[in-house]
Structure 1
Amino acid sequence: MESWLKAAGAAGLDDLELADFPTTGRGVRTLWRFKEGERILTIPSRSLWIVQDAYVDLLLGPALRAVTGPPLSVEDTLALYILFVRSRESGYEGLRSHVAAMPTSYSSSIFFTEEELEVCAGSSLYTVTKQLKRTIEDDYRDLVVRVLLGQHRDLFPLDKFTIEDYKWALCTVWSRAMDFVLPDGTSIRLLAPFADMLNHSPEVKQCHVYDPVSKSLSVLAGKDYEAGDQVFIYYGPIPNNRLLRLYGFVVPGNPHDSYDLVLATHPAAPLFEQKHKLWSSAGLDSTSTIGLTLTDPLPNNVLRFLRIQRADESALAAMVLHPQIDVAAEKISNSNEIEILQFLVESFGILLDEFGTPLEKLEEQLAKGVFSAGGNAWAAAHVNLGEQRVLRLARKKAEDLLAAVKSGSSSAAPTARCANCGKGSVPLMLCGRCKGIMYCGRTCQVAHFKEHKATCMTTASKNV
């Protein structure tokens, strides 16, 4: 592969070599000292794998252009391109040498046995992997009908385009492709020979760049390197559940671990249209996936979504009448806030109960070496661990917020916030009847009266 790349104009290969490392496996070693920011490697455009090249290929291009129906995805096009080149017995010498250097197998979660996957039962990875396996089977059947058995079936011998081949090619794209946003706002996904042998490290800075003018890929030193060091690139702040699904590895103690919380409301739910407009104005949707993280286990968008979802008609009307207010950024009312926080505490508890192995037991198993270090079950255990930690933090924060709201709502002192919209940074007025609650204006008082009426009458009678 190196000789082909040198002939194609790649720069920097004389200063690097492929090597096997104890922890990361196959990677790239530098033979030279590099200071952070120095250019280490450049792969020219003619050596890159991109969708456009597949469509202009003399043999593959006509077959791809003949496909009817929805266009193939970038992933499927690149996967077919890789399998097509691998199936050729002549021609494509450079690209075939790159394919030959690719791993023959991957450790992404779609290749886990049922027993290995069960280690992370209850996690989002478990659910996504199960769904992904079904989706891959459906997509493969679609490709067989639309491409492999099409007008150019002679290009796609089915014994070299099996579903296992397809899964291998998809994992090649997931784990080795690089994505860049171009100056015009469009994006490009590419595979860069040799550069795709660089392993990830969270300890280096972003260091792979695409030049839209020369259409080449360059790797810079993400830190200072001494001769003999392994060279790394940085994939980004990726949680273990995604690292294992796409790349086939995890980072123990990953500070970017997360849990994707899905919040959804059926269109047939009461007041759906009004709520949908409010979600949209808040940058949300009726089905929103919100990432919970170790540093922000309960993002405000979770509360915003649920405040709108659980709002009654009067509260919704008040929010619509105040378009200048950041929708549901603060509590609507004590009762609404208590309802959503109780829901969250209960929901996080249910989610945690669904994990096959509790957090403490899992930590004990990992400490005792129950799982072979670096193996699939070991990696699944780390995903399980990270997601449970995030959910426990989320539950604790919801519990703390709930306690604070209950404490505030039971206080005899008037609240320092509007009882309807929750705003406290504006002049407030007391309810004229009960003197026990405050509003930012007449509109909020009217909107909140239905909820406040019974308490107001009782309190007012006691004050007579």
Structure 2
Amino acid sequence: MESWLKRSGASGLDDFELVDFSDTGRGIRTLRRFEEGEEILTIPHSVLWTVKHAYADPVLGPALLSAQPPLSVDDTLATYILFVRSRRSGYDGLRSHVAVLPDSYTSSIFFTEAELDVCAGTSLYTITKHLVHQIEIDYKELVVRLFRQHHELFPRDKFTIDDYKWALCTVWSRAMDFKLHNGDSFRLLTPFADMLNHSIEVGQCHSYDPMSGKLSISAGKKYEPGDQVFINYGPVPNNRLSRLYGFVVPGNPNDSYDLVLATHPMAPFFEQKHKLWKSAGLDSTSTISLTLTEPLPSSVLRYLRIQRLDESDLADVTLRHQNEAALEKINDLNEVEVLKFLVESISSILDGFGTNLEKLEEQLAERFYTPAGNAWSAAHVSLGEQRVLRLTRKTAKDLLEAVENRNGNNKAFLSTTDQCALCNKFSTQLMRCGRCNGAMYCGRACQVAHYREHKAICRAITANNSSRKG
């Protein structure tokens, strides 16, 4: 591969060698010293794997153009890789790159059920389950739209679903993404440079020049001869590292949990609330990342404040400037309701994890999982997400305690923070059951809907109260 790249105009290759490292797998080792920031490697545009190059191929291009609708970027690149791998001649340079790619990957889509169960309850678990199913659907569509239509180009035994999954993981784990000046995203695979492994200890050190089409790698730190050279993939959490790249970083400071907030369109006052969400830069279904540095983003509180508005508060809020209403606390009752809901919801999410944080820490310390194995990676993903969620819950609890302490001497406030027995909504206008005077409801509809469940308790309380009076 190196000789082909040199003939194509790549520079810096003589200073490096491919090595299989015990901790990171295949990577690049430097043969000389480099200072931080020094340009160490350049790869010309002509040898990059891009969608444009795939369509420009005289054999593959016409077949790709025939597929309607057009293939996605990832499917195009995956097909391009498999096509080159299947050819016996005419693609010697590109095939030399394919030859040094890993034979298999450790992305979460290859986890066994038992390995994936280690991270049950995490976003990785849910996304991986969905992804495995979606890959099967996408492959079947690819067969119908492309492979079967041009069977002479895509021999069935070289374009199986296992081949497709391997090619997809090649794209996910080795592609680089760049933003062009016009705002468009640009994805490419770079021979040799795609062997550089990730480290959070180096800065951003790879760049693409759209004018020359050249990809450049700089030294992200000072290197001595024999050191492994790294690039930084960005602030990627372990759940994404495992899904796309097949590895994790223990104690990853970029760990996160994607919290999905959703409201059904049939919910009361949905249209009015939808306008408020829009004014706050949100939507009726919003996915917000919780992180170790920002466990409770203001956007979560904005969303829930609007979602929990009752009729009287909604009328008051709509009279104000919408942006202001969306950004600021509505009132203490609304804030208590939001924070209590958040604490209970996060607790429920945490209860859904297969193994709690303390147990995972104990198992990892005792080397219960094979280091760097799939189950070990799944354990670190679960550990990271639980740490984020616990920090979110603590932050919400602290905010709730502050609001309640501020109103500690306000008996009227405290008496109105009871919940509706059916929907758990807090309200300033709760109505009590007329028989037992115990259960409280935010309206007649909830009281009627809850009566079948409540009536036995209601009769018992009523009878007990009568006997006391007697």
TM-score range, shorter chain: 0.7 to 0.9
Residue of structure 1 in register with 2:305 after alignment: 307
Residue of structure 1 in register with 2:235 after alignment: 237
In structure 2, what is the Cα distance between the partners aligned to 1:378 and 1:453?
Answer: 50
Residue of structure 1 in register with 2:125 after alignment: 126
Counterpart among 237, 249, 252 of residue 251 in structure 1: 249
Residue of structure 2 in register with 1:47 after alignment: 47
In structure 2, what is the Cα distance between the partners aligned to 1:95 and 1:227?
Answer: 29
Deviations 1:353-387 (A, max 9, x none): 11111111110000000001010000100001001
Is 1:291 aligned to 2:289, yes or no? yes
In structure 1, what is the Cα distance between the partners aligned to 2:54 and 2:346?
Answer: 46
**1:412 CA drift (Å):** 4.4
In structure 2, what is the Cα distance between the partners aligned to 1:325 and 1:301?
Answer: 12
Residue of structure 2 in register with 1:67 after alignment: 67
Residue of structure 2 in register with 1:117 after alignment: 116
**1:453 CA drift (Å):** 12
Deviations 1:232-284 (A, max 9, x none): 00000010000000000000000111110000011111111111111111011
Percent identity of equivalent pairs? 69
Q: Give RMSD over aligned pairs.
A: 1.7
Q: Which amino acid aligns with 1:84?
A: F
Deviations 1:74-124 (A, max 9, x none): 011000000111111111111011011100100000000001101101111
Residue of structure 2 in register with 1:31 after alignment: 31
Q: Which amino acid aligns with 2:82?
A: L
In structure 2, what is the Cα distance between the partners aligned to 1:53 and 1:290?
Answer: 36
Residue of structure 1 in register with 2:11 after alignment: 11
CA contact (8 A) 2:279 2:323 kept: no
Q: Which amino acid aligns with 2:221?
A: K
In structure 2, what is the Cα distance between the partners aligned to 1:93 and 1:20?
Answer: 24
Residue of structure 1 in register with 2:401 after alignment: 403
Is 1:92 aligned to 2:102, yes or no? no
In structure 2, what is the Cα distance between the partners aligned to 1:215 and 1:274?
Answer: 49
Q: Which amino acid aligns with 1:35?
A: E
Q: Which amino acid aligns with 2:90?
A: G
Counterpart among 274, 277, 290 of residue 276 in structure 1: 274
Aligned length: 418
Q: Using a 3 Å threshold, how does the CA distance of structure 1 residues 413 and 310 change in structure 2: closer, same or farther?
A: closer
Residue of structure 2 in register with 1:144 after alignment: 143
Counterpart among 315, 318, 321 of residue 316 in structure 2: 318
Shifted more, 307-316 versus 219-228: the winner is: 307-316
CA contact (8 A) 1:20 1:27 kept: yes
SS of 1:238's equivalent in the other structure is: coil
Deviations 1:121-174 (A, max 9, x none): 111100110000011011111101111111x22101111111111110000000
CA contact (8 A) 1:281 1:327 kept: no
Residue of structure 1 in register with 2:2 after alignment: 2
Deviations 1:423-459 (A, max 9, x none): xxxxxxxxxxxxxxxxxxxxxxxxxxx95899xxxxx
In structure 2, what is the Cα distance between the partners aligned to 1:296 and 1:53?
Answer: 41
TM-score, normalisation: structure 1: 0.88
**1:187 CA drift (Å):** 1.5
CA contact (8 A) 2:288 2:299 kept: yes
In structure 1, what is the Cα distance between the partners aligned to 2:323 and 2:134?
Answer: 42
In structure 2, what is the Cα distance between the partners aligned to 1:124 and 1:10?
Answer: 40
**1:329 CA drift (Å):** 2.1
**1:327 CA drift (Å):** 3.5
Residue of structure 1 in register with 2:79 after alignment: 80
SS of 1:90's equivalent in the other structure is: coil
In structure 2, what is the Cα distance between the partners aligned to 1:205 and 1:103?
Answer: 26
Deviations 1:301-358 (A, max 9, x none): 1111000111122322333322264333222111111111111111111111111111
**1:54 CA drift (Å):** 0.7
CA contact (8 A) 2:111 2:374 kept: yes
Q: Which amino acid aligns with 1:27?
A: G
Q: Which amino acid aligns with 1:52?
A: K
SS of 1:41's equivalent in the other structure is: strand
Shifted more, 123-132 versus 20-29: the winner is: 20-29
CA contact (8 A) 1:19 1:28 kept: yes
In structure 2, what is the Cα distance between the partners aligned to 1:209 and 1:94?
Answer: 23
In structure 2, what is the Cα distance between the partners aligned to 1:114 and 1:26?
Answer: 27
CA contact (8 A) 1:16 1:29 kept: yes
In structure 2, what is the Cα distance between the partners aligned to 1:36 and 1:156?
Answer: 45
In structure 2, what is the Cα distance between the partners aligned to 1:392 and 1:185?
Answer: 37
CA contact (8 A) 1:352 1:391 kept: yes
In structure 2, what is the Cα distance between the partners aligned to 1:170 and 1:315?
Answer: 50
CA contact (8 A) 2:203 2:232 kept: yes
SS of 2:152's equivalent in the other structure is: helix
Counterpart among 164, 167, 175 of residue 166 in structure 1: 164
SS of 1:255's equivalent in the other structure is: coil
SS of 1:143's equivalent in the other structure is: helix
CA contact (8 A) 2:280 2:323 kept: no
Counterpart among 336, 339, 342 of residue 338 in structure 1: 336
**1:414 CA drift (Å):** 12
In structure 2, what is the Cα distance between the partners aligned to 1:275 and 1:249?
Answer: 41
Q: Which amino acid aligns with 2:222?
A: D
Q: Which amino acid aligns with 1:92?
A: Y
